[in-house]
Amino acid sequence: MVDAAYLVLEALFNAGYNAWGLLGQWLSLWVLAKHQQSFDIVKLFDTQKVAKYRKDKGFKRNASEMLTLYKPLQYFLEVMYMSNSCMVKECRSFSACCELLDYLQGIPSLDSPCPKTLLGLVESALECHTLAGFADYTKPKHHWTLHFFDCLKRWGQLPSCWSCERKHKTARKYGSVHCNLKSYDKGLLVACTMEHLHNLQDAELFDDTCHFLCPRDVPKSLHQKLKAEGLQFQSVQSATFKTSCSQWCTALERMAG
């Protein structure tokens, strides 16, 4: 999505439309839902940031920011350009990605999500990407989206709509150190398959119960505070510990009350 957003905005700019600047003004009038107001999307398009995006030739934003931005940006392109038959192929490229992401996010709430529908959306997004003239900017993660169909068909769910963000790292990790050029493809495939088989031996890999991720012992300060409050546990673990001890004390007092 970040690549698609950069490519369409830069294409509009190069065609003489100041989409970067106009988008910032557009977003200043946009009212976001309460759960999306954790950051100011208008500041993503101030003059300095836009200059950096264009210098780096990339729109480097995280997943949360893109999930907040992509619908206003889609509407912006449709109203300002596509409705006026302006740069339709380029705008359609981003719009097709948005339609794919909409379906991916909606899968958990669908009674029977259709793998063929998902494959059609993926193929449409890739085709629009090519028709817009962006084929030279294709990355390994673009290919991975073609595997969403098989994952949904086999398992009935997709663990994450952003799964393509990390899948190429396994191949790159082994490919960068593989030196046997006579059997490069086979050696790389063997290395990746061995890692996958090793990971599948983890009994908790597909655990769908409520549990900690990467559990570890809590800090001694918290353990002593729990003990002082009369809360005795044989084993105390936590997955993430970002709360200060004083905040835990307040929480414990409320629980006691």
Residue 150 lies in a domain: yes
- The residues, any chain, with a CB within 8 Å of residue 192's CB and separated by 6 or more, are 170, 171, 174
Residue 165 in this model has a pLDDT that exceeds 70: no
Please check whether residues 226 and 158 belong to one and the same domain.
Answer: no
| pLDDT of 123 | 92
Please check whether residues 91 and 157 belong to one and the same domain.
Answer: yes
Query: What is the model's pTM?
Result: 0.64
Nearest CA among 32, 61, 33 for reference residue 49: 61
SS3 229: coil
Please check whether residues 117 and 223 belong to one and the same domain.
Answer: no
Please check whether residues 126 and 251 belong to one and the same domain.
Answer: no
Please check whether residues 224 and 142 belong to one and the same domain.
Answer: no
Q: Which of 144, 162, 180 is the last residue of a domain?
A: 162
| pLDDT of 192 | 86
Residue 54 in this model has a pLDDT that exceeds 60: yes
Please check whether residues 142 and 226 belong to one and the same domain.
Answer: no
> Looking at the DSSP assignment, which residues form a beta bridge with residue 216?
238
Residue 84 lies in a domain: yes
Percent of the chain with pLDDT over 90: 23
Higher-confidence position of 62 and 251:
62
Query: For 211-243, what is each residue's pLDDT tens digit?
Result: 777 777 777 787 777 778 776 655 555 544 444
* CB of 239 closer than 8 Å to CB of 212: yes
Please check whether residues 125 and 252 belong to one and the same domain.
Answer: no
Higher-confidence position of 202 and 125:
125
Residue 197 in this model has a pLDDT that exceeds 60: yes
Residue 109 lies in a domain: yes
Please check whether residues 112 and 11 belong to one and the same domain.
Answer: yes
Q: Which residue has the tokens 């981003």?
A: 94
Rounded to whole angstroms, the Cα distance separating 47 from 63 reads 22
| pLDDT of 248 | 47
Higher-confidence position of 80 and 169:
80
Residue 156 lies in a domain: yes
Residue 23 lies in a domain: yes
Residue 70 lies in a domain: yes
* CB of 11 closer than 8 Å to CB of 81: no
Percent of the chain with pLDDT over 70: 86
Please give the tally of structural domains in the chain: 2
Please check whether residues 228 and 143 belong to one and the same domain.
Answer: no
Q: What is the mean pLDDT of residues 168-183?
A: 79
| pLDDT of 159 | 65
Please check whether residues 34 and 133 belong to one and the same domain.
Answer: yes
Q: What is the mean pLDDT of residues 116-142?
A: 88
Residue 196 lies in a domain: no
Please check whether residues 40 and 121 belong to one and the same domain.
Answer: yes
Q: Which of 124, 141, 162 is the last residue of a domain?
A: 162
Residue 204 lies in a domain: no
pLDDT band at residue 161, thresholds of 50, 70 and 90?
very low
Please check whether residues 36 and 130 belong to one and the same domain.
Answer: yes
Range of the domain at 84: 2-162
Q: What is the mean pLDDT of residues 121-131?
A: 92
Residue 119 in this model has a pLDDT that exceeds 70: yes
Query: For 62-107, what is each residue's pLDDT tens digit?
Result: 878 888 888 999 999 999 999 999 999 999 999 999 999 999 888 8
